[in-house]
Amino acid sequence: MTINSEPHDAPKRPYLIGVAGGSNSGKTTIATRMSELMAAENLSLIKLDSYYVERSTEPLEARAAANYDHPDAFDWDLMNDHLAALSAGASVQIPIYDYAVHDRSDRFETVHAAKVIVVEGILVLWEPRLRERFDLKIFVDTPPDLRIIRRLRRDVAERGRTPESILNQYLETVRPSHELFIEPSKRYADVIVPEGGLNRPALEVLLARVREVVNES
């Protein structure tokens, strides 16, 4: 005889999906597309960038020179606490990051528990505690030349950066950190998606899985 120790009306734990990959690989496109096509009560999206450590005590020059692709750049304890709370059905207040000043702003975003929670970021498959939470682990695998071109376009248009500063940062911190931390985390992935958001067949497969999870709930 099987005894179910959980109450019949106990809420089902959310299905957690981790979407990792190099900077500008297309992981944000995949995560955002899943979020756009699902109702808010069915899917919540969390971005690792929201969990950059607070640097309010550092001068702007030091913040600008920091390595934001290194694991030490993130507040893993806060992210794990937030995912634990969401898994228990609670809502959380997630920091809003200000790229212009390289620090957290004084604003927050409320994220509610949902049937599916997607966590997107360059290192979400690197951190062991975080990785163990995921029911599905995805790595978006895009060639370096495409990623740097996308980064140039984005940072010039959206973040007011100069091409020279972008390339210097790429060579000094982004590329080395990718090779040391991000690329090796690919071995933990359940699914590897080439070309990111440009891979429509892969995106359709992922969306089908998300809909399946929602319908099962």
Phi, psi of 100 (to 5 degrees): -65, -35
Least confident range of 39-43, 128-132, 194-198, 208-212: 194-198
Distance (Å, whole) CA 67 – CA 60: 14
Q: Is the dihedral of CA 165, 169, 171, 175 positive or negative?
A: negative
Residues 6 or more apart whose CB falls under 8 angstroms from that of 48 comprise 74, 79, 119, 120, 121, 122, 123, 124
- 146 vs 131, more confident: 131
Domains of the chain in start order, with CATH, are: 15-216 (3.40.50.300)
Q: What is the mean pLDDT of residues 125-149?
A: 93
Alpha carbon distances (Å) from 211 to 1, 178, 216: 33, 32, 9
Q: What is the mean pLDDT of residues 26-30?
A: 88
Q: Where are the alpha helices (DSSP H) in 91-191?
A: 128-133, 144-159, 163-169, 175-177
Measured at the CA of 165, the angle between CA 159 and CA 167, to 5 degrees, comes to 105
Going by pLDDT thresholds of 50, 70 and 90, the confidence category of residue 151 is confident
Q: Report pLDDT for 119.
A: 97
Going by pLDDT thresholds of 50, 70 and 90, the confidence category of residue 78 is very high
Q: Report pLDDT for 11.
A: 59
Distance (Å, whole) CA 119 – CA 133: 10
Checking if the pLDDT of 198 tops 80, the result is: no
Distance (Å, whole) CA 166 – CA 151: 8
Q: What is the mean pLDDT of residues 181-205?
A: 89
Residue-wise pLDDT for 108-127, tens only, equals: 999 999 999 999 999 999 99
Average pLDDT for the chain:
88
